[in-house]
Amino acid sequence: MNIVISKIKKHIENNYTQFIKNFLRLLECPSVSTDKEGIEKAVDVIVELLKEVGADVKTYKIDGGNPIIYGEIKGDKNSSIMFYDHYDVQPVDPLDRWISPPFKPRIEDDKIYARGASDDKGNLISRILAVKTLKDSLGELPVNVKFLFEGEEEIGSPSLPKFVINYKEQLKADVCIWEGGGFNKNGRPMIYLGAKGVIYVELRVKRRGDDLHSSWGTIIENPAWRLVSALSTIRDIKGRILIDGFYDEVIDDPEAEELISKINIDRSEIEAMTSNGELIEDLPLPDLLRRWLLSPTVNICGIYSGYVEKGQKTVLPSHGFAKLDIRIVPRMHPDRVLMLLKKHLAKFGFSDVEVEILNHGYPAARTSPNTPQVRLAKLVAEAVSSKEAVVFPNIAGSGPIYLITDILGQPCFSFGVNHPGSNIHAPNENLIINNFMKGILQCSLYLLNFDSWVRLGNAPYLNA
């Protein structure tokens, strides 16, 4: 085995206990995005760890938001790699479904259980520990590294756009590794090359006055009926969105199509991820994957109106509200989608349905699988796992990756330490310890090969 790689592996092995300790320290901070106290503790721990590895660290507060932590370490080569992760976490409810307290990390069998273990503290810490590994075992860092860690991802990253625009020069790098990514149940590395965009709106129908006796339902308009009538014009029974022009900008992406054709996961994985949810349409697997990953959609997140408590009450409600998220794919623009939605409602006679924009959202982003940065990630991941990587054109969810790809103009993708049973955003969130360690090695080798790979097309340290 290559002597450099064996040094790195040894270092990770020898520091196993210390690395887990570092991770647990961060997991113990209850950094729910809206809990200021937990946020401060998490920031302190991260700043301390970054300083320990020799980073020049600053924290930035934009409009009173949670601090953005920015760290930079100079390497002895010109290329730069940036890591984006977030230290805030989702709330823990329902608490009674947790087997152990969410901020008292529990190690059982091969996993660590705690809120944030996978989303996203495991990735965040693994990046810092990869840098530590290289510096401690080789005495130098073979590339410049920039850390961009935010504390508001779980509430829609309100500070991040301003920060990226204001500090564009400082954030310049040759690639950005985004949060997420990991290993599937067979241990194959999973790499995601982007994310969908998202818009969040509330449709509101209101009537003058308060609730009425339901006997008026013969002659007085019912906002709940108005709302469901309006909603029913938006999507057909097969899931197709009926808004004129909605799919106009969705174009075939041959690279994405090719990736889809190579994702050989089986149906049971989709069934497991959705608790065996009923399919809108029973399609062959490649078509299901295509729809899941490459299609835009409008989703009803919740509807509320009238009497919804136990038992009965005859009432004609005064209002009906529905919350919708709209997931969009590359080339679709939030402004245009919102305009089309309003036009659609007007066309069907629902001009009285207000469209309240709760989050103006952002566009999708995708990086080509053929960029050298992605090709190296695949090579490294496959060398570390000895298994073929599964490369997804994007996640089915959303993230403001456009800030990196469109504003900074850098390739950006996810490869990390999670697994499909991570329970992110849910009770008993967890991380497989072996994946955490593998992630540190994977990240170390990416850093180690990067400069030579992008300049000379040569990755000398893969024999892992």
Cβ atoms 443, 126 nearer than 8 A: yes
Write each residue from 161 to 200 as x if it is in contact with Zn ion (CB under 5 A), else as -, in one continuous string.
------------------x---------------------
Give the interface segment with Zn ion, choosing from 31-39, 120-128, 291-299, 437-445 (CB under 5 A): 120-128
Q: What's the CA gap between 272 and 196, in Å, rounded?
A: 22
Q: What is the DSSP letter of 153?
A: G
**How near is the Cβ of 283 to Zn ion at its closest, in Å?**
29
Binding residues with Zn ion: total (CB under 5 A): 3
**How near is the Cβ of 148 to Zn ion at its closest, in Å?**
14
303: tokens are: 């509807």
Give the interface segment with Zn ion, choosing from 115-123, 214-222, 321-329, 449-457 (CB under 5 A): 115-123
Residue type, 102: P
Q: What's the CA gap between 282 and 2, in Å, rounded?
A: 49
300: tokens are: 């009803």
Comparison of 15 and 398: residue with beta carbon closer to Zn ion: 398
Comparison of 157 and 410: residue with beta carbon closer to Zn ion: 157
**How near is the Cβ of 87 to Zn ion at its closest, in Å?**
10
Residues 367-426 that bind Zn ion (CB under 5 A): none
Helix ranges restricted to H, 310-432? 334-347, 372-385, 402
Q: Is 119 near Zn ion (CB under 5 A)? A: yes
Comparison of 67 and 180: residue with beta carbon closer to Zn ion: 180
**Would you list the DSSP string of 118-137?**
IIIIHHHHHHHHHHHHHHHH
Comparison of 120 and 382: residue with beta carbon closer to Zn ion: 120
Cβ atoms 440, 12 nearer than 8 A: yes
Around Cβ 28, how many Cβ atoms within 10 Å? Answer: 17
Give the interface segment with Zn ion, choosing from 119-127, 143-151, 347-355, 380-388 (CB under 5 A): 119-127
Comparison of 4 and 155: residue with beta carbon closer to Zn ion: 155
**How near is the Cβ of 265 to Zn ion at its closest, in Å?**
21
**How near is the Cβ of 367 to Zn ion at its closest, in Å?**
18
Comparison of 119 and 382: residue with beta carbon closer to Zn ion: 119
Cβ atoms 246, 337 nearer than 8 A: yes
Phi/psi zone of residue 75: left (φ > 0), alpha (ψ -120 to 50 degrees), beta? Answer: beta
For strand 175-178 and strand 80-86, is the pairing parallel, antiparallel, or unpaired? parallel
Comparison of 120 and 152: residue with beta carbon closer to Zn ion: 120
Give the interface segment with Zn ion, choosing from 45-53, 112-120, 126-134, 411-419 (CB under 5 A): 112-120
- Per DSSP, the three-state class of 311 is coil
**How near is the Cβ of 373 to Zn ion at its closest, in Å?**
21
Around Cβ 264, how many Cβ atoms within 10 Å? Answer: 10
Closest CA to 123 of 179, 192, 188: 179
**How near is the Cβ of 154 to Zn ion at its closest, in Å?**
7
Residue 262 makes CB contacts below 8 A (sequence gap 6+) with 390, 391
Q: Is 88 near Zn ion (CB under 5 A)? A: no
Comparison of 350 and 436: residue with beta carbon closer to Zn ion: 436
Comparison of 195 and 353: residue with beta carbon closer to Zn ion: 195
- Per DSSP, the three-state class of 82 is strand
- Per DSSP, the three-state class of 367 is coil
For strand 194-195 and strand 365-366, is the pairing parallel, antiparallel, or unpaired? antiparallel
Comparison of 15 and 33: residue with beta carbon closer to Zn ion: 33
**How near is the Cβ of 341 to Zn ion at its closest, in Å?**
27
Give the interface segment with Zn ion, choosing from 11-19, 114-122, 243-251, 390-398 (CB under 5 A): 114-122
Q: What is the DSSP letter of 394?
A: S
Residue 36 makes CB contacts below 8 A (sequence gap 6+) with none
Residue 97 makes CB contacts below 8 A (sequence gap 6+) with 427, 428
**How near is the Cβ of 217 to Zn ion at its closest, in Å?**
45
Closest CA to 326 of 289, 362, 290: 362
Comparison of 181 and 317: residue with beta carbon closer to Zn ion: 181
Give the interface segment with Zn ion, choosing from 1-9, 20-28, 98-106, 113-121 (CB under 5 A): 113-121
**Residue from 120, 152, 174, 429 binding Zn ion (CB under 5 A):** 120
For strand 144-150 and strand 189-192, is the pairing parallel, antiparallel, or unpaired? unpaired
Q: Is 150 near Zn ion (CB under 5 A)? A: no
**How near is the Cβ of 123 to Zn ion at its closest, in Å?**
8
**How near is the Cβ of 102 to Zn ion at its closest, in Å?**
16
**How near is the Cβ of 192 to Zn ion at its closest, in Å?**
12
Comparison of 152 and 179: residue with beta carbon closer to Zn ion: 179
Q: What is the DSSP letter of 89?
A: B
Cβ atoms 419, 439 nearer than 8 A: no
Residues forming the site for Zn ion (CB under 5 A): 119-120, 179
